[in-house]
Structure 1
Amino acid sequence: MNARPERIPIPSAQRWENFRERVLPAICLAATLAACGWLWQQQGRVAPFVHGEVGAEIVDVRSPVDGRLEAIEGQPNGQWPLFAPISSGAMAARVEQAIGKDSSVDLPAPIDGVVTKVSGLPGQWIGRGETILQIASSKPTFITCHVPDNGSKPPEPGTMVAVRLRGGGNRWAAAEIEGIGPIVASATIYDGTSGGATTRGLPVRITLPTDLPLKPGTLVDVRFPPGTPM
């Protein structure tokens, strides 16, 4: 009876070559699919965030009557200069009423702030409802941001969010959503590379954290609760 032929051993280099060409690609594919599935499940648990801007109250001082602007005592050229600080109750403008009326109307500043727009000069005729000055508060009062309008239900007023100054190393502070605008509006993209590009979304007004050094115009990051549709 013939003896069974002896098997020729496969070199280890050839075994590794076979494993690398036949088995390893299948393992990598399975691992990739598993990782994609895990990331898909975790997507709803990530806390999304958007960029926002600190805002302040801005009011227009308008003439309640037809008349002529009078000079304001103590001010250069009889008018408030641009970017001049102004206190609430200070004389912002005075209008001499039209012919037939012998009195002037004093218009006090409604808030503390800074003059950001001058629309009338002493001696100039101005109509009822026209803007004479614009005053912006120097104190921040709220934060605005925009959430994408993707058909999902937007966050509701009263939802707690986190706010921080732009930058990865800054700490987060708690804030609350005050309201959601009903109309989709344009918003500037503050990513540092878009060159003033805009996007569209629902405007969100957020309370101001008391423990962050914010001022009007400051850019912030706003983090929403995990699972918020974005």
Structure 2
Amino acid sequence: MTTHRPIPVPARRRLQRALQQYGTPVALVLGILACVWLWNQHEPVGGLPGEVLAERWELASPIEGRLVELPASRLALLDVVQEGQLLARIDDRHLQAELAVLRAEVEVTRAEIVATTARSRIDRESDLLDQALTRQRLGVDVQGLRIDVIDRRAQVESLRMARDRALEQEARLRDLAERGAETPNALRIAELERQQVETDLREQEQALVETRRELRQAERRLGELEPPDEPDLDDILAPLQARISVHMAELELLSQRREDLEIRAPSSGTITAIHRQPGEVVSAGDPVVRLTSSQRESVVAWIPQHDPRRPQPGQNARVRPLPVHNASWLATVLQVGDSVELLPEHQRSDPGVPEWGVPVRLSLPEGLPARPGERLDVRF
């Protein structure tokens, strides 16, 4: 009996049959795997916006004035600065002029005190044993010492500004001399000028201490005298006391303004914005530079106001840097805000559309590869 062998099927035909039979399921599985991979590469639905919290300061000018060049090189974006470092300075020429006016007014008041003292001496010659006139004379002396204190303080404030300028000039010349752009002789002259100003300042500060001591002694002697029945002394001294009080208030204001001439870094960090340059005129409250702390503190996330999730302190959360990948870090809820706040523009789905949410502060996971201000995905 003759046996028939099956006709062999060509490999090409077998492949066509396999594709027809298994092609659709295989394509479906591959499509699902591709979707899962793309999903993991994209920001996941349900994740909340967050970022590594870093303290920022918008350092503004406390007073109106013109920014002057600093002795060191001009600040640049991303410069790293240390706590207390001078970032900007306001020109002090207007303040110097106001101090000069105040000292002139003080001299006028001192002349009035001298005239009052002369009248007291004339009256005293008629009755040297009159205790009221003695008290009147001592009261006038007290007012004279008070005006001396104001004058000394004005000189001290003026010398402090002169010392600051001398230090800046010396630092600038030293920098130029190190680069060969200035002679050592010019630097030496600047050093001598700075030393002279510092010597004058120390002398004035010592004189101020001595004048205050004399004022306390005079006030104590005046308090030991019995006040007379007639209010003659108060009537005589009232105009002087009022004018001295005005001078004292003006001096306190100028002293505060002198401290406001400098803008210094409240902490170490990085310059992330420069709003004004030397030579520009600024008003009180105008931002000059923005400083961002280099220290990572914690993580902050925002829960949309209509989101029902309300985590509690101590609850765990998963934190991932953006773009999201499979790795995540465990964080703990530290604090939940009591009110709904406006989200920062960079955390909104559309920066032009305001969004509100409840801020949540979380612990900073150890080993989290994120820099201060970097966006995160947070899942509770």
TM-score tier by shorter-chain length is 0.5 to 0.7
Q: Does 1:80 align with 2:91?
A: no
1:182 to 333, 336, 339: 339
What residue in structure 2 maps to residue 45 of structure 1?
none
Pair member with larger Rg: 2
Partner residue in 2 for 1:139 = 295
Q: How does 1:9-28 map to 2 (within 5 A)?
A: none
Q: Is the 8 A contact 2:314 2:332 kept in 1?
A: no
Instruction: State the distance in 1 between where 2:272 and 2:346 align.
Output: 24
Alpha-carbon deviation of 1:113? 1.5
Query: Which residue does 2:376 correspond to in 1?
Result: 220
Kindly report structure 1 stretches of 4+ aligned residues shifted beyond 6 Å: 187-190, 194-198
CA distance in 2, matches of 1:171, 1:151: 23
Could you give the per-residue CA deviations for residues 3-23 of structure 1, whole angstroms, max 9, x where no partner exists? xxxxxxxxxxxxxxxxxxxxx
Number of the residue aligned with 1:56:
54
Classify the secondary structure of the residue corresponding to 2:48. Answer: strand
Structure 1 unaligned segments of length 5 or more: list them. 1-47, 225-230
Structure with the largest fraction of helix:
2
**CA deviation digits over 1:107-161, x for unaligned, max 9?**
2211211112212222322222222111112332232222132374722344332
- Is the contact made by 1:95 and 1:106 (CA closer than 8 Å) also made in structure 2? yes
> For residues 115-130 of structure 1, what are the structure 2 equivalents within 5 Å?
115-130=271-286
The number of aligned residues is 172
> 1:95 aligned to 2:90?
yes
TM-score (norm 1): 0.61
> Quick one: structure 1 residues 161 and 94, their matched pair in 2 at CA, closer, same or farther if it must change by over 3 Å?
same
- The 3 A distance-change label for structure 1 pair 136 and 201 is same
Q: Tell whether the 8 Å contact from 1:52 to 1:145 is kept in structure 2 after alignment.
A: yes
1:155 corresponds, among 296, 311, 322, to: 311
Gap change, CA 1:107 and 1:182, over 3 Å in 2? same
Change (3 A) 1:96 1:179: farther
For residues 132 and 168 of structure 1, what CA distance do their matches in structure 2 show?
39
2: distance between equivalents of 1:151 and 1:170?
A: 25
Q: CA RMSD in A?
A: 3.1
Distance 1:173 1:89 in 2: 36
Cα shift readout 1:76-124 (whole Å, capped 9, x = no counterpart): xxx3112222121211111124341454522221121111221222232
Q: Give the counterpart letter for 2:51 in structure 1.
A: E
Which structure has more relative contact order (CA 8 Å, sep 6+)? It is: 2
Shift of 1:189: 9.1
* Equivalent residues of 1:160, 1:177 under 8 A apart: no
Aligned AA (2:293): S
Distance 2:288 2:343 in 1: 28
Checking the alignment, whether the CA contact within 8 Å between 1:187 and 1:200 is kept in structure 2 is no
CA distance in 1, matches of 2:343, 2:47: 18
Q: Percent identity?
A: 27
**Structure 2: runs of 5+ lacking an equivalent:** 1-45, 100-157, 162-257
